[in-house]
Structure 1
Amino acid sequence: MSNTIDTAKLALISQGAAYGLLIGLGVLFCGVILFAVKIQKAYLSEDSGKSEMFMVANRSVGTGLTASAVFSSWMWINETVLAAAMCYNYGLALPLWWGSGLCFQIALMAALGVMAKIRVPYAHTSLEIVRMRYGKVGHLVFIVLNLVNNVFGCASMIMTGSQLIYGVSGMNFVAATILIPLGVVLYTAVGGLKATFLTDFLHTAIALILIIYFTLSVLTNPAVGGLSGLYDKVVATAGKNYVSGNYEGSLLTFKSKGAIIWGLILKFGNLALVVMDTAFWQKSFATEVRATVPGYNIAAIAVFGIPWGLGTVIGLTARAIHNTPIFPTYPGELTSTEISMGMVMPYTIKALIGDKGIIGFFFLLFMALTSTVSSSMIAVSSILSYDLYKTYINQQVTDKNLVRVSHLTVILHGVFITGISIAMNYGGANMTWINYLRPVISCPGILPLILTLFWSRQTRLAAVVSPILGFFTGLVVWLATAKSMYGAVDIATTSNEYPALYAAIASFFSPGLYSILLSLYKPSSFDWREFLRIELADTPHTESDQDTFVESSGSKDGLSLDSEIHRPTKSLPVESQQGADDQDDSHMDLKRSKLEGGKTPTTSSTASIQQQNLDDIQHPFDDAILKDLYNWLKIACFTFVAIVLVTFVAWPLPLYRDYIFTKSFFSGWTTVAIIWQFGAFGAVVIFPLYDGRHAIATAMRGVWKHRGFANQAPKS
């Protein structure tokens, strides 16, 4: 394979230890999450055996847990490992561009999420929205786009993780590829979306502790000598660390052509990974009304500091010590293969922290991998079970059977992405090439999907055709540019920056142009009230769980601020007193059916729902909640614009000039980055505990009473 290294001489940890850590961590987290799921079911009325809980967590997730889960889902291996490797390549400009390439997508998703709550309050996946507006063909096109994005993104992370585990320990990458998703499949299949929220919180807490530990331990190591020592060593080795394309070849300048090109490519690719990933939409559907915007924006701001602080310290430290005897590759140089695999960070940690540092790195690697995999599994499971099985195979599926299908699809997805990861590994792919390919295949659906919620004049033809044309436009630009500039089309030539950048721009912008032109060719206008039919169409199959919804939303543990919006029957119009009486009789039949163990009776047909007059369909939210949502939409849009202007223009562009950082400026720059890491810890680890204190207290009281501890405790 072209993407392998000789681990016989450079193994940083034994294979036995690597196997033990990988298997042990998988079993440990599986046990913890399954225990948490039982506690939820017993004391918080949250049963993952119900489809609404499995897919969208009863739409009851608060601000803190939302921020933590979004942060964890977005803190991929790239944000830690590859950020350090690319800082090694391009200097300190790259980590800041990387941070700016992470936050604006999440801020955009906050606006999309709150708009989805306004337009489609009871959607389960983004594809439901597409189906209601564009029909079967549009639905199937976007299913393919979403599946490709989810499967490719998840498989690439597993592939990256297996390469790192192989590089660190020499473990066979096939074994690593199989073991990485194994434990995740078990707890995701049982726990559903809420389980991924809980495990995301644990991952976030552990990962941030390790990130802060690595940053400070490396920086304060005697071989580095703190911020002043690091600066002096980078300056002293400047002649050996010349970077082509940087001002005076310096690692300490923000004027870096390579860094800004990489940053632009990253922005397009990451935008696709958020907007075209059903997981991020599901997390927004799962939140409370007042939690979507603040939760996503907290995560957007917090994640900025991770690649900025860690990437700067690790990447520059590696440059400073890679030609010294303490570095694992000495006296040899770091190869391009090792850099592409992300080995800069583990080599640096091994040199300065030792074996305990490598074990910690293994933990960090596991946290980043499993959070990505679990999120992807729920997303793909929802697509396969809800958007395919329930829509086209068995429209009358019961809630219980739908959850069974979801469990099965989680397992199938785990097996499938494992196979894809192995194939990519054998094909010689690496993190760098994947980051260049991702925008080409994932960007074409972004603008058509955004316009689905925001532009009533986008037609069905435009929504179906424009992503397809956009994909082929980006692919042709990528391959043609590589052929024109470098004379061949292969992994090596397509791994260059300029073909990837041009392809990303074409893949992103061309579908928007195609969509506008096609929509204007045969104009039409969509009535947003059509989206409310989604709730009505699903009601016959979910009413059997109505008691669960009411019980959960009516609890006093602080989980739900808007209990009234969890009632799926609220939007059903009552056209007459006779209709109301029939509805009451229907509910009596439902309860009787549940007691007798029979199937849930169907109260209305999809055909009659589609024929119902739009004037008779009421929005499930009252005017006060809708006003609140529109206010949150304004806040989300303002935050998105502010983040783009600050992180794209106001902050980086004034620094893009003929300037090399002075010691004092560098010290202040890096200090702020490290402080940002501590701020992130407070925002997505400490704050969620405070925000969920009522639910935690309720669960603890339930466990305490169940165990009989309350009766045994001495009276004060």
Structure 2
Amino acid sequence: MSVQLGVSGVPVIPQGTAYGLLIGLGVGFCGIVLVAIKIQRAYLSEDSSTSEMFMVANRSVGTGLTASAVFSSWMWINETVFSAAFCYKFGMAVPFWWATGLCFQIALMAALGVLAKIRVPYAHTSLEIIRMRYGKLGHLVFIVLNITNNVFGCASMILTGSQLIYGVSGMHFVAATILIPLGVVLYTAVGGLKATFLTDYLHTTIALILIIYFTLTTLTHDAVGGLGGLYDKVMATASENIIAGNYEGSLLTMKSLDSIIWGLILKFGNLALVVMDTAFWQKSFATEVKATVPGYNLAAIAIFGIPWGLGTVIGLTARAIHNTPIFPTYPGEFSPDLVNAGLVMPYTIKALIGDKGIVAFFVLLFMALTSTVSSSMIAVSSILSFDVYKTYIDPKASDKKIMRVSHLAVVFHAIFITGISLALNYGGADMTWIGYFRPILSCPGIIPLGLTLAWSKQTRLAAVASPILGFLTGLSVWLATAKSLYGTINIATTEASFPALYGAIASFFSPALYSVVISLYKPETFDWRRFLLIELAEAPKLDGPEPSLSSNREKDAITDKDTSESNSHGIGASNSPSENISVTASDPENAKTLDIGEKGNTSVSINSDPSTLDLDNVQHPFDEATLQELHRWYRIAWIFFVVVVLVTFVAWPMPLYRNYIFTKSFFSGWTTVAIIWQFLAFFAVVIYPLYDGRHAIVKAYRGVWSAISGTFSRS
């Protein structure tokens, strides 16, 4: 199941075109985002020069833009290119299992995101929550878990993309590795999280149009002949395409051992990539109060159709035509090395669509790569600036200094991740091994992180020890299973399916046991009201007469006023809590008074030591009606999550895991639903965000038109 790297295939696009596309697309997107940022700042009162705007987009992102951004962040190369490659290898069960391995994590993050809004309404990163509850040691443990998860995920995508570009164009992978993040770093460093939301929307729009184009153009080509023709060709070549482990060796069955094992491993790995990635938490912090659950769940539903529809059509088509004269490798063999390198999709597109199809494929590849890199940059820069620099290096850092560090952190991360990708390249890294090791490394933190928000009895020792013990347990199970099954421990045996699956299961579930046992050994109860002090606890550390916090709140109030007509919509709306936190210090003589009220400018008295605050006088920033609404969304989120798990894990796939080969009518219906799902995704994450943000779009348009008209009139 290994994805091998550095495979030199048949170039299907000139090097010069590949260079031009990479550089041109990077510069073009940078220009678009810089213009958008200028319009936001001038006409929507959204200034990315403040840390609140840079890291959490002023908590103003609506449902539509949230769905589009989450969809884009989760539409990696795997969901497009490699779903087709693995469908070619193991049959049509893989794209479906791939789809089921993408949606439930987003549904879970919807529940965790709205719970975070209830518990910690002013949070900026998930690590900030950890530090508030468990102190320095817990904070450092989860910083390591978050950064390693982020580095592994981002580097693997750049690594895969550079090798794929090398395979289709002959461009040196070093050049590709450097050029992929180059354009992204420019607009991310300037625009922050809101810039990534806007570019995510552009990525999503372009990518979905291309995905639908590839799917339909492939099916309607004369060499394929529609769904019926594709089925007939796959059945006619069945004797040439025997798949070990599938029922009767067929490509057209859901009873595929390799597919279901791959799907289970993918679920654990993807769960870690979402929950342990600060980027997905930041996107939930950036949403409006009403937008978190519907935005994330729209993305969860929409993403399902991408690997399912595209992977099924491209993967099976490649099986049907790979021994025909139109295929690029003909009359040579389409070797397993080329398949594992991800060349199934570009070769199929080249055979059926030609040069224009390959250019479009290159654009799709760029969209998938840069959306991943962009969100990774913001996540890591927030960790380095807020959780590392401000916490441990310069606690008195002003907002302006934090922003400067954030910008430098984006550039540093780009350089660092490029170096890691090159090191993995030259080291002969195996993507399957990396993919199998990542769940073992990152899964141990998932349950302790969730319990941080959901269980008041988890102690500091449990939160610190359980991820470490969970990692050691998972590592031990992984290596011991490889030794037991294959007699030795090496790269080949540790990247086998069963050792990786057992290791991932142990890494994920064992921390729950460790956490409960350790917490019950020396029980204590956390007061959730302490989370409401996160913002206040930072306030006394600001320079001067505490300008940053109050000025930010004043800016937010101005934003509320300026964008009132666009409230509750996608772009330019503000959802910062409109009520005030009121805290009375236990020692009034030593208290500081800060004005953090947005509306009404209520004064807040706060002692420099948050532990001495009287929690009985802490008021939640949301009013009672807003809290009731959030709790209602929280219940909806969990119901949706349970339904998604039951449907995609049990009710849908399990009855089909039997001795059955799809008939032509069943196959046609199955694939038709997958294609329709792509169009539904387009409406959910491309059309709906335009409607959702219509007021802000109109306001920005009027501002730009007025400025242009004024310029011409003065001339």
TM category, shorter: over 0.9
Q: Which residue of 1 aligns with 2:545?
A: none
1:707 matched to 2:714 = no
Q: Which residue of 1 aligns with 2:551?
A: 544
Q: Could you tell me how far apart the structure 2 residues matched to 1:429 and 1:30 are?
A: 31
For residues 130-176 of structure 1, give each alpha carbon's deviation from its aligned partner in whole angstroms, at most 9, with x where no partner exists. 01111100000000000001111011100010011000101110110
1:632 maps to amino acid = W
Q: Could you tell me how far apart the structure 1 residues matched to 2:90 and 2:563 are?
A: 53
CA contact (8 A) 1:60 1:559 kept: no
Q: Which residue of 1 aligns with 2:8?
A: 6
Q: Which residue of 2 aligns with 1:38?
A: 38
Q: Could you tell me how far apart the structure 2 residues matched to 1:164 and 1:606 are?
A: 56
Q: Which residue of 2 aligns with 1:205?
A: 205
CA contact (8 A) 1:483 1:489 kept: yes
Q: Which residue of 2 aligns with 1:368?
A: 368
For residues 525-581 of structure 1, give each alpha carbon's deviation from its aligned partner in whole angstroms, at most 9, with x where no partner exists. 1111111110212345422322211111222355433989626881133689x99x9
Q: Could you tell me how far apart the structure 1 residues matched to 2:577 and 2:529 are?
A: 19
Q: Could you tell me how far apart the structure 2 residues matched to 1:462 and 1:332 are?
A: 58
The alpha-carbon deviation at position 18 of structure 1 amounts to: 0.6
The alpha-carbon deviation at position 516 of structure 1 amounts to: 1.1
- TM, length-normalised to structure 2: 0.94
Q: Which residue of 2 aligns with 1:556?
A: 563
Aligned ranges 1:586-665 → 2 under 5 Å: 607-665=608-666
The alpha-carbon deviation at position 425 of structure 1 amounts to: 1.3
* Change in 2 beyond 3 A, CA 1:319/1:511: same
* Change in 2 beyond 3 A, CA 1:250/1:606: farther
Q: Could you tell me how far apart the structure 2 residues matched to 1:100 and 1:19 are?
A: 35
Aligned ranges 1:310-709 → 2 under 5 Å: 310-540=310-540, 541=542, 542-556=549-563, 558-561=565-568, 566=576, 570-573=580-583, 607-708=608-709
CA contact (8 A) 1:539 1:568 kept: no
The alpha-carbon deviation at position 606 of structure 1 amounts to: 6.5
The alpha-carbon deviation at position 432 of structure 1 amounts to: 2.9
Q: Could you tell me how far apart the structure 2 residues matched to 1:79 and 1:330 are?
A: 27
The alpha-carbon deviation at position 605 of structure 1 amounts to: 6.8
CA contact (8 A) 1:64 1:692 kept: yes
Partner SS state of residue 695, structure 2: helix
* Change in 2 beyond 3 A, CA 1:382/1:568: farther
1:54 maps to amino acid = F
The alpha-carbon deviation at position 434 of structure 1 amounts to: 2.8
* Change in 2 beyond 3 A, CA 1:584/1:351: closer
Partner SS state of residue 31, structure 1: helix
CA contact (8 A) 2:579 2:622 kept: no
Q: Could you tell me how far apart the structure 2 residues matched to 1:339 and 1:616 are?
A: 63
The alpha-carbon deviation at position 431 of structure 1 amounts to: 3.4
The alpha-carbon deviation at position 393 of structure 1 amounts to: 1.1
CA contact (8 A) 1:86 1:94 kept: yes
* Change in 2 beyond 3 A, CA 1:384/1:91: same
Partner SS state of residue 80, structure 1: helix
Q: Which residue of 1 aligns with 2:231?
A: 231
2:660 maps to amino acid = Y
The alpha-carbon deviation at position 586 of structure 1 amounts to: 10
The alpha-carbon deviation at position 584 of structure 1 amounts to: 8.3
CA contact (8 A) 1:277 1:379 kept: yes
For residues 499-522 of structure 1, give each alpha carbon's deviation from its aligned partner in whole angstroms, at most 9, with x where no partner exists. 111111111111111111111111
* Change in 2 beyond 3 A, CA 1:524/1:245: same
* Change in 2 beyond 3 A, CA 1:182/1:564: closer
Q: Which residue of 2 aligns with 1:595?
A: none
* Change in 2 beyond 3 A, CA 1:331/1:487: farther
Q: Could you tell me how far apart the structure 2 residues matched to 1:569 and 1:669 are?
A: 50
2:8 maps to amino acid = D
Partner SS state of residue 178, structure 1: helix
Which stretch shifts more, 701-710 or 688-697? Answer: 701-710
* Change in 2 beyond 3 A, CA 1:221/1:401: same
For residues 609-652 of structure 1, give each alpha carbon's deviation from its aligned partner in whole angstroms, at most 9, with x where no partner exists. 33111101111111000000000000000000000011111111
Q: Which residue of 2 aligns with 1:138?
A: 138
The alpha-carbon deviation at position 709 of structure 1 amounts to: 5.6
The alpha-carbon deviation at position 604 of structure 1 amounts to: 7.1
1:658 maps to amino acid = N
Report the RMSD for the aligned CA atoms in angstroms.
2.3
The alpha-carbon deviation at position 6 of structure 1 amounts to: 2.6
Aligned length: 696
Which stretch shifts more, 604-613 or 241-250? Answer: 604-613
Q: Could you tell me how far apart the structure 2 residues matched to 1:390 and 1:484 are?
A: 48
Fraction of identical pairs, as percent = 71
Aligned ranges 1:100-115 → 2 under 5 Å: 100-115=100-115
CA contact (8 A) 1:557 1:698 kept: no
1:570 maps to amino acid = N
2:558 maps to amino acid = E
For residues 425-476 of structure 1, give each alpha carbon's deviation from its aligned partner in whole angstroms, at most 9, with x where no partner exists. 1222243333222211111100100111111111111110111111121122
Q: Which residue of 2 aligns with 1:598?
A: none
For residues 15-61 of structure 1, give each alpha carbon's deviation from its aligned partner in whole angstroms, at most 9, with x where no partner exists. 11111100000000000001100110011000000000000000000
Which stretch shifts more, 483-492 or 518-527? Answer: 483-492
Q: Which residue of 1 aligns with 2:546?
A: none
* Change in 2 beyond 3 A, CA 1:119/1:567: closer
Q: Which residue of 1 aligns with 2:84?
A: 84
CA contact (8 A) 2:585 2:614 kept: no
* Change in 2 beyond 3 A, CA 1:573/1:521: closer
CA contact (8 A) 1:543 1:568 kept: no
CA contact (8 A) 1:565 1:621 kept: no
CA contact (8 A) 1:441 1:471 kept: yes
Q: Could you tell me how far apart the structure 2 residues matched to 1:190 and 1:572 are?
A: 35
* Change in 2 beyond 3 A, CA 1:232/1:585: closer
Q: Which residue of 2 aligns with 1:24?
A: 24
The alpha-carbon deviation at position 2 of structure 1 amounts to: 6.7
1:566 maps to amino acid = S
CA contact (8 A) 1:190 1:407 kept: yes
Q: Could you tell me how far apart the structure 2 residues matched to 1:493 and 1:528 are?
A: 46
1:157 maps to amino acid = M
CA contact (8 A) 1:470 1:510 kept: yes
* Change in 2 beyond 3 A, CA 1:655/1:616: same
CA contact (8 A) 1:539 1:569 kept: no
Which stretch shifts more, 495-504 or 211-220? Answer: 495-504
2:5 maps to amino acid = N
CA contact (8 A) 1:4 1:337 kept: no
CA contact (8 A) 1:462 1:516 kept: yes
For residues 311-333 of structure 1, give each alpha carbon's deviation from its aligned partner in whole angstroms, at most 9, with x where no partner exists. 00001111111111211122333
Q: Could you tell me how far apart the structure 2 residues matched to 1:585 and 1:619 are?
A: 16
Which stretch shifts more, 25-34 or 508-517? Answer: 508-517
Q: Could you tell me how far apart the structure 1 residues matched to 2:607 and 2:354 are?
A: 63
2:69 maps to amino acid = A
The alpha-carbon deviation at position 582 of structure 1 amounts to: 8.7
The alpha-carbon deviation at position 603 of structure 1 amounts to: 8.9
* Change in 2 beyond 3 A, CA 1:584/1:457: closer
1:469 maps to amino acid = L
Q: Could you tell me how far apart the structure 1 residues matched to 2:134 and 2:708 are?
A: 54
